[in-house]
Structure 1
Amino acid sequence: MTSPPRVSMEITDEMIKSMEVGLAFRDYLRFPALLGRCCSTGRGWRGRGWERMTEVAHKRGATNLNPSVPPRLVHSCWIVSLVADLLRCRCSLFSKDFGWLGAMARPPSVSMEITNEVVKSMQMGLVFKGYNGRISSMDFHSKATNYLVTASDDESIRLYDTQNAVCLKTINSKKYGVELVCFTDNPTLVLYSSKNGWDESLRLLSLNDNRFVRYFKGHLDRVVSISFCSEKENFLSGSLDRTVLLWDQRAEKSQGLLRVQGRPAISYDDQGMVFGVAYGGCIRMFDARKFEKGPFEIFSVGNDDTEAHVLKFSSDGRRMLLTTKAGRVHVLDSFHGNSIASYTVKPVLTNSTLEASFSPDGNHIISGSGDGSVYAWNVRSGKVARWGSTDNEPPLVRWAPGSVMFVTGSSELSCWVPDLSKLGSFTITK
């Protein structure tokens, strides 16, 4: 099957006037339907519609609709989130044993085009509070893309449905602590690392019944990087013990071992055929099927040989980024290793991690900074935006797959969406 054609249409007054109902979906979850009524019937933002929307959002776990943001922005944030979800025509298949979280098909590639203007307009539309420590890790599911899992220094693992603005579940890991967390191919299972100083095992946790499915023992020091293969049941883990272990989630023993000469940053590409291991100023590329033969390519990131923090591939696999302790964000061609761009932010402290994330189309990058700011760059043209903060620690950042939204994590979880009132026009792509 060939890929669908790319369709762009400028949204003009004439086009809006001509719009009619072409297809109607019934049996929506209560919150989106109520949201529609609130936005359409409220008499201004001070009307009962806005009050009711705030009340429902609070009941769903959103402890703050960010009163510092102009009401017009908050309305537009919720509207664009709802419109984006309707454009994707998401269908949730609820399983019998896990009614509130079913398997989700990958949504069609229909969304708002991510331009520099769209990125510049983005502001916080929703803030989740209630954490008693900093968020240490976040991950979106690769297919059920509205599900987000977080780990926090307060030893909690929290599952969110960003489409419906609700925290679905909170699980505490008081005995082992938690530092890194990621989804497996199954949205009901997460993998997380310990943070208790005496047990460096990885654990496969069922969110369905709060049960450990399997333990993965092998590392002798803190695990600093985890990457799950979205197409298979394999994952990688990198540790300060200077090893990278390859695992099959169905087996307790590791399937392979790579020794490194420093703190490793690791990542699978989107297809799971290749993975990268970064340390010592270089990125080593491995064939996942023949990793024991060593790297088939070694790419240098110039004269930056400081500690590697995060390695990630773009969704199309053509680009990759590497962040380092020195406050550098390197962008490379993943096929040839050519440097595409390099950005500089304030360096981070010893115990912090500098994070960065590609937009779904791979053309923009967001990153944290040692001064607490969030930066956005266009890979081709450079800096697009900077959002300041009173916090002096780098926030975690994640762009939601297939969505015009990114999230940041510090002592609270924030969802960022475009402010439509700042956009003269925007393009819908297919």
Structure 2
Amino acid sequence: MTSRKPITSDILRAFLPLKTFHYHDANSPITSLDFDDSGQFLLSCGTDESLQLYDVSKGKHVKSVLSKKYGCHMARFTHHEKNCLYVTTRSAEEHAIRYLSLHDKSYLRYFKGHTEFVTSLEVLPSSDTFISCAQDKTLRLWDLRLPSCQGLMKTTNPKMLVAFDNEGLLFVVGNPETNQLGLYDLKAYENAKPFSLFQLALPANPETGSITYAWNKIEFTTDGLKIIVGTEEGVIFVVDAFEGHLLAVLNGTREFSSRKYPGCGSVTTTPDAKYVYAGSGDFTIGLYDISKLEGVKQPVDLLPVHKLASDASTGLARSLVFNPRMYVLASADKEVSLWTPNEAVFE
């Protein structure tokens, strides 16, 4: 359903699971989801070493692409129709990023350089540039048209995460070991010094007493004003993107049971930058209103204003992403589910 009306809390509360796909092998975790720029296509990637393409507007599966020889993780659409990047997982020596045409299942290019598992992969919103972080403690900048990395920066933590702002002018690098966020100018990042370094004063985890969390996702809101930090513990942090102070702690979701395979986060923001959805280990998806946090001097605790109900047939929302063009939410664990609002909300 195309977004012709402004996003409202009533619409977001009315989301229901419309269709569930079972194209990945049973009991094989799905580790990433991504919509293309148009919002028409959705791509899932799983530990069964397959990529699955779906046509969202038609509500149907389009094709499977196997990567048994290389393994696959963290599939990301580029800005070229039905082309994607994904990380290889099977080689102990080479952790190349592969550039694939989903149209004819041919490889367009291989990006080699990382020597250990890639932990973060993001495509610049407005160009053929993409960036990657890996456990080899390097951050690499790439151009889709060239096989060699165009820039390299050494990092201090093997589990760094990266995200671009919506304008494509800067990126943020997150260090979960030190609770730091570094902002870098895309044109001048190789001096290895961020133009802003935020030290987050995170609250202690009530379960462990630790202020260190296992981050699994960072992203800017589309207006560039906030940075969202998702964690394996189910706690989500909202950070002021200019001053770097903690605006809110989103509570009320349950931690997922542990599993061997990494995911790409169970939190997603809406295109209007006002709401956050977060998956929970109790088969719900929490909806949070973050629209009134500007000017907050002390971090506030927020609970969901609503919870979407799932079940075993729909699956957990270990991966979660909101469509950039339509009123569609995609969730995944061992299956992929599409959520749309109840039609009555538009009457």
* Number of equivalent positions: 316
- State the match for 2:205 in structure 1: none
Q: Does 1:128 align with 2:39?
A: no
1:161-200 residue CA offsets vs partner (Å, 9 max, x unmatched): 1011122221111101111100111123100001214231
Which one has a larger percent strand, Structure 1 or Structure 2? Answer: 2
Q: Secondary structure in 2 aligned to 1:112?
A: coil
Q: Distance in 2 between matches of 1:402 and 1:331?
A: 24
- State the match for 1:261 in structure 2: 156
What letter is aligned with 1:179?
H
Q: Distance in 1 between matches of 2:326 and 2:281?
A: 27
Q: Does 1:117 align with 2:10?
A: yes
Q: Secondary structure in 2 aligned to 1:180?
A: strand
The structural deviation recorded for 1:288 is: 0.2
- State the match for 1:295 in structure 2: 194
Cα distance change, pair 388–161 in 1 and its aligned pair in 2 (3 A): closer
- State the match for 1:56 in structure 2: none
For the Cα contact (< 8 Å) 1:124–1:417, is it kept in 2?
yes
Q: Does 1:271 align with 2:167?
A: yes
Q: Does 1:196 align with 2:90?
A: yes
User: Sequence identity, in percent?
Assistant: 25
Picking from 330, 346, 360, the partner of 2:254 is 346
Unaligned 5+ residue runs, structure 1?
Answer: 1-80, 85-109
- State the match for 1:285 in structure 2: 183
Matches within 5 A, 1:82-121: 84=2, 111-121=4-14
Q: Distance in 1 between matches of 2:316 and 2:154?
A: 31
- State the match for 2:70 in structure 1: 176
Q: Does 1:402 align with 2:325?
A: yes
Picking from 23, 33, 36, the partner of 1:138 is 33
Picking from 217, 224, 236, the partner of 2:112 is 217
Picking from 334, 341, 344, the partner of 1:418 is 341
Picking from 25, 48, 51, the partner of 1:157 is 51
Q: Distance in 2 between matches of 1:373 and 1:315?
A: 25
The structural deviation recorded for 1:385 is: 2.1
Larger Rg: 1
Unaligned 5+ residue runs, structure 2?
Answer: 203-210, 293-301
The alignment yields a C-alpha RMSD, in angstroms, of: 2.1
For the Cα contact (< 8 Å) 1:119–1:384, is it kept in 2?
no
Q: TM-score, structure 1 length as denominator?
A: 0.69
Report runs of 4+ in structure 1 exceeding 6 Å deviation.
none
Q: Distance in 2 between matches of 1:409 and 1:126?
A: 12
Q: TM-score, structure 2 length as denominator?
A: 0.85
Picking from 349, 366, 377, the partner of 2:288 is 377
The structural deviation recorded for 1:129 is: 1.7
Which one has a larger percent helix, Structure 1 or Structure 2? Answer: 1
The structural deviation recorded for 1:137 is: 0.8
**Which piece of structure 1 moves more, 288-297 or 365-374?**
365-374
For the Cα contact (< 8 Å) 1:360–1:403, is it kept in 2?
no
Cα distance change, pair 419–299 in 1 and its aligned pair in 2 (3 A): same
